[in-house]
Structure 1
């Protein structure tokens, strides 16, 4: 039997990656949504955004198919927080998001679809 180490192994997330019809367009959308910057591009296939501590990479996948939400289970999605949720919703829609009729969050969160038609949620900070 192996000896147990007294120090716990601690990991961290360096980056999260997402796929869609157009990785660069998704990077531009989320950078504008969050007030971040596109920090790196990878040819025509991908782009990275960051706030200096967290990074997301958005890849183009030619065979990408958006989930048929809410019927399809989601593999992953983002929850974004804002000081003024109503203002954020209107700004995000202006950037290319859409608001589906199905809104399971009540007053707690709002579901929007990004330009690749993938759901993400917005809510108030705190």
Structure 2
């Protein structure tokens, strides 16, 4: 056994990407692609041939955005979040301004004493922006 309790012979996995649901997966994919400077790499059709999901990537990491007819954004900060995304930019203030121009909104509740800023993406899901090495 290793110190983490996993047998030394256990296979290791690789995270291929993360999925997000939204009322309009294409629009949310476009938002995050613009936010990160990534490109749409693939679209996935539903059973009727309509685009149901869109994959964006920088060539090393991927995010997939799905259209979900019954999507309901969390009522943050009241609702607990199953997960959220942290984005780092060399110039966090300029990035925040750009993200707001792309369609993000800034809620009044801002935890973290200025170490990060919480924004809501166009689907209403919280994500954090902070200064740091973006590459």
User: Above 0.5 in TM-score?
Assistant: yes
Counterpart residue number, 1:40 = 42
Instruction: Give RMSD over aligned pairs.
Output: 1.4
Which string of whole-angstrom CA distances, capped at 9 and with x for unpartnered residues, describes residues 5-64 of structure 1?
Answer: 643421110111010110000100000000000111123211000000100100000000
- Residue in structure 2 matching 1:60, options 67, 79, 88: 67
TM-score by length of structure 1 reads 0.92
Aligned equivalents of 1:16, 1:54: Cα separation in 2: 9
Counterpart residue number, 1:124 = 131
Change in Cα spacing, 1:93 to 1:8, as seen in structure 2 (3 Å) is same
Counterpart residue number, 1:92 = 99
TM-score by length of structure 2 reads 0.87
Unaligned runs of 5+ in 1: none
Report the number of matched residues: 123
Aligned equivalents of 1:57, 1:98: Cα separation in 2: 22
Unaligned runs of 5+ in 2: 1-5, 46-50
